[in-house]
Amino acid sequence: MSVQAKVRRVTPLMLSMLKGQRPIVSLTAYTTPIARLLDPHVDLLLVGDSLGMVLYGMESTLGVTLEMMIAHGQAVMRGSQTACVVVDLPFGSYQASKEQAFLSAARVMKETGCSAVKLEGGAEMAETVAFLTARGIPVLGHVGLMPQLVNTAGGYRSLGRNDKEAETIRRDAKSIEAAGAFAIVIEGTIEPLARAITESLTIPTIGIGASPACDGQILVSDDMLGLFSDFTPRFVKHFATLGPQISAAAAAYADEVKARTFPAIEHTFQPRAAALPDSDQK
């Protein structure tokens, strides 16, 4: 009897080696069922702190805790086999010191089994990134628009429109690369700048609201699936419109329950036929 070979996961190093070869396919995932559906089609599944807004209805990502990230990281690992799973470090879990960052990242990797962590920040976080990578923790960087800094950045807006902003983002990307990150997410950055940064780095860039020239792309899965209809960011494309379908399905279910047409008899469990006495079975 043959033994089925264990499927090998994509590693951070394998993602780094895709630069110049083909685009990296990335999506967010927060639950086991969604991870299971996305896993065969992507290189990277990001358990993003965007789950605070997407799943919990928070106004920003700032209320997300390390415990929440670990719980959802575990769920995504259960549902995936081949994708490289990266878990966000949430606000307040790594900024105080590089030692705090290591303790948080080590806990995430131990308790979830993920392959890497992601953290936001540029030049000011380079020392922390270097500290983590030197101690065996692969890091996915994140520059440009950084949701954890929304209160100091003046809200959610595209960046790099003036020379000062553009130079800051360039410096941030170079600093995080030099610190040892295996790739960098560029978010909410004007297209020519994201393109130029991608060309200047030796590690891959993964764009969201950036440039088609980035070495990969990522979207929030719920946005990609069209689960939200109240607001669609400019950089989002709906590859499905599941929101209206889910609402329609719920309405149909409600109608049938009220009309007592669901459940039908075939949806119920019936008593088994009583067993005959031994004397009658001979």
Bridge partners, 237 (sequence order): none
Chain-centre distance for alpha carbon 259: 41
Nearest in space to 122 (alpha carbons), one of 98, 142, 93, 97: 142
CA distances from 236 to 39, 40, 149, 205 (A): 20, 22, 21, 18
Catalytically active residues are 187
Q: CA-CA distance, 22 to 245, in Å (whole number)?
A: 34
Q: Is 120 annotated as a binding residue?
A: yes
Q: Is 177 annotated as a binding residue?
A: no
Residue with tokens 């960087």: 141
Q: Is 163 annotated as a binding residue?
A: no
CA distances from 4 to 7, 8, 10, 37, 84 (A): 9, 12, 18, 21, 21
Q: Is 118 annotated as a binding residue?
A: yes
Q: Is 280 annotated as a binding residue?
A: no
Phi, psi of 257 (to 5 degrees): -65, -45
Feature table: binding site for Mg(2+): 49, 88, 120
Feature table: binding site: 49-50, 88, 118, 120
